[in-house]
Chains A and B, each alone.
Chain A
Amino acid sequence: MAFSLLLIVVLGATALFFATHLSIPEDRSQRVFAPDLVRRGGELAALGYCASCHTAENGKPFAGGRPLATPFGTLFGTNITPDPKTGIGLYSQAAFARTMRDGIDRAGRDLYPVFPYNHFTRLTDEDLSALYAFLMTRAAVPAQNPANHLTFPYNVRPLLAGWKLLYLDKNPVPRDQTRSAEWNRGRYLVEALSHCGACHTPRDRLGAEIASQHFDSGEAEDWWAPPLNHKFPSPVSWSEESLFNYLRSWDVGHGGAVGPMAPVVAALATVPEQDVRAIAAYVGATLAKPGESEKRVDEKQPQAAEAHPQGAELYAGICATCHETGGHVPFTVTSLGQHTSIYAPDPRNVIHVVLEGVRPPEGTVGAVMPAFADTLSDAQIADIAAYLRARFSRGGEWQNIEAEIARLRRSTSP
């Protein structure tokens, strides 16, 4: 750790000499765009889920203010509406492109990689132009970005120049001529715009995605983000079709997205079908395990009930009401064992869902699960989690479940 920090300081200082960090002049000249370009930009913005980080809860779209917790402190999604004072209203297209590709804002400040420019840097010029056209035609919302809460030395922005030297790979997404056009299209979307690796690839101590562990699983807002490759731990196999269903709405084999993945699916529901099919083709190629499509959930119910009698009773009295009806209750799958969360290395996702429940956006069809934070004690939720783990997973017992519940209660309650 100490060595890394030292290295970064040195590199950062060095980088200052290479200062490409000049302010780019204000430019409001181009604010009228071809409607098709704006429309395409809108689809791309949905494929990049811009709104999910750049919109506060109950806030105006793209006006920023959403807190993003990282190991280095809390940052806030910025205002990317074309408001000249608080948003990106003074950005020329060149300034916008530098922000997306180099992680340097118009004023010349380095940006933290929580903004995934390590992915956006690989966007094509055409897509950047479309995104620019889309964002610059949004309603300008005056909304001051809240100050980030970062600890030293992470609050020293120039160090980021060094970070970039270490980690920012600006090469375009390569084409694999042996693969289909759809697969290549998916690869481009996944690796550049949709930045799946930002959550699904583990990061090192300096917050960089570890390239050698691409899609091995990661973190998103204190949820576990599962692997998108052969390390996927659930016995329920994926196919391109099931992945497409899941990404678009809901899949009968795997259920639906919850937590930070829910807004991703909500956004993908609005984009052209072929883009989602392309993503499913690319990710599906590594995620699907050929020959395993018939594999069923492996139940160890008697052993689990014996090991965790309290959990078994709670499950029967509460969870089973909806989750053991053979999938008859809408948005439930036949067995809770089909949910990936039960095979995670830690119980956070299960705890999140039990504590917070699930609710769809107002007026839309989608899973409704009540929050059990007020009904169940930490010990009871721990019993349920332990029982589910023992019943379905061979991954070994989860440790410190109760402490995790207490921690998540603290961090998620208002």
Chain B
Amino acid sequence: MITLNVNGRSRDVDDAPNTPLLYVLRGTLELNGAKFGCGLGQCGACTVVIDGKPVFSCLTPISILQGRKITTLEGLGSEDAPSPLQRAFIEEQAAQCGYCIPGMIMRAHALLTANQSPTDAEIREHMNANLCRCGTHMRILAAINRAAGGMHAAGARAPAKAEEEE
């Protein structure tokens, strides 16, 4: 039994220690956010945030995750109460099929947590690890920019849920 800290909750899982986190999130924990895209660390669809860093969950066995803070898409917000970043994706209508978007949001979340006002070039470089096939890139960039602006402007407000976790 391995104990994982997922979205602020302690979860005991009985999967084999070499099981990649992706399968445990989707199977045992029934979380849909992280997606299977390649299993090779080439596309970023499975991106989650671990201790503040974007990580490919398809290549991260749960054996190395004891005691580390795992944040998935579900940990940012919900359909009723989306996080500022999720809200920015909705406001920009930044999805077509949407399959890559959870990974995009998690990678962007890690960036915005570390750097509240990245330049457009910094966003493009940071997001380079994640692939989108529908060509939604421009809206994804707009959503991240919007969230960065929003986070920036909301500097005086209480920190959002997502930021508390980091």
Contact = CB atoms under 8 A, between A and B. Distances in A.
Interface of A: 313-314, 316-318, 321-322, 329, 357, 368-370, 374-376, 380
- Name the interface size band of chain B: 10 to 19
Interface in B5-62: 17-18, 20, 39-42, 50, 53-56, 59-61
Given A314-B64, A374-B55, A380-B64, A321 B17 contact: no
B59 A375 contact: yes
A321 B60 CA distance: 10
B42 A375 contact: no
Contacts of B54: 374
Interface of B: 17-18, 20, 39-42, 50, 53-56, 59-61, 63-64, 129
A374 B53 contact: yes
Contacts of A321: 20, 39-40, 59
Nearest to B49: A374
B55 A375 contact: yes
Nearest to A313: B63
A318 B50 contact: no
Contacts of B59: 318, 321, 370, 375
Contact of B40 (A316, A329, A376): A329
A317 B2 CA distance: 15
Contacts, number: 47
Contact of A370 (B20, B50, B129): B129
13 contacts: A313-B61, A317-B18, A317-B64, A321-B20, A321-B39, A329-B40, A357-B41, A370-B42, A370-B59, A370-B129, A374-B54, A375-B53, A375-B56
Contacts of A313: 17-18, 61, 63
Given A318-B61, A375-B53, A375-B55, 12 more contacts: A313-B18, A313-B63, A314-B63, A316-B18, A317-B17, A317-B61, A317-B64, A318-B60, A321-B39, A370-B42, A370-B56, A376-B64
A317 B39 contact: no
Nearest to B19: A317
A374 B57 CA distance: 12
Nearest to B53: A374
A95 to B, nearest CB: 37
A375 B50 contact: yes
